[in-house]
Amino acid sequence: MKKILKEIYPYIIIVIVVVLIRTFIVTPILVSGKSMFPNLSGGELMILNKFSNKIERYDIVVVSSPEEDHIIKRVYGLPGDRILCKDNTIYINNKKIEDKYGYGTTEDFDLIKLGKDEYFVLGDNRTISKDSRMIGPVKKENIKGTTSLVIYPFNKIGFVK
């Protein structure tokens, strides 16, 4: 019996390590839909970094959603920011930003003041994305992590910004 345990011991350790890594550090995440087009497409498989402590403007995040398992969006507003859109132009803290990720027209929305643990997220494909314009600011506790690495399909492997 000791011999068998000694032989399977390394495999048990490997399984435990893989489960811990997947549970607490990184896990695969599937992009669904077209809300992040043209930067991401439905069916792409990405790596979700659950260990990311700091969320920065324009990071791609995975958010828990009551209607879906998750949604993938881009962070525009950070805690304490004031954000609005007028005439297809986004203003953050009264400053016009160059929206290099937005595709399509961003419909106007009134000024939103973010709380200390709130983020404003937008899909890159503004015409169809269900994001903070509809669901409101996202609390930090509902952000599962950040993602920027596509691992499938193989011809799209690489980092996305």
What is the domain-level CATH number for residue 41? 2.10.109.10
- The predicted pLDDT at position 2 comes to 77
- CA distance linking residue 146 with residue 159, whole number of Å: 12
Answer yes or no: is 75 within a domain.
yes
Q: What is the mean pLDDT of residues 98-118?
A: 95
Answer yes or no: is 61 within a domain.
yes
Q: Which domain holds residue 68?
A: 2-152
Tell me how far CA of residue 125 lies from CA of 16, 67, 74, 96, 99, in angstroms.
Answer: 40, 19, 11, 19, 12
Answer yes or no: is 65 within a domain.
yes
Catalytic annotation, pick one of 50, 52, 73, 132: 73
Answer yes or no: is 158 within a domain.
no
Answer yes or no: is 141 within a domain.
yes
| 8 Å CB contact between 47 and 28 | yes
- Active-site residue 41, yes or no? no
- Active-site residue 96, yes or no? no
Answer yes or no: is 138 within a domain.
yes
pLDDT at 90 over 80: yes
Give how many domains the chain has, as a whole number. Answer: 1
Record the pTM.
0.88
- CA distance linking residue 121 with residue 110, whole number of Å: 15
Q: What is the mean pLDDT of residues 21-29?
A: 83
- Looking at every residue in the chain, the average pLDDT score rounds to 92
Residue 55 phi/psi, 5-degree rounding, is: -105, 125
Q: What is the mean pLDDT of residues 136-153?
A: 94
- The predicted pLDDT at position 158 comes to 92
Answer yes or no: is 36 within a domain.
yes
Answer yes or no: is 161 within a domain.
no
Catalytic annotation, pick one of 35, 52, 129, 132: 35
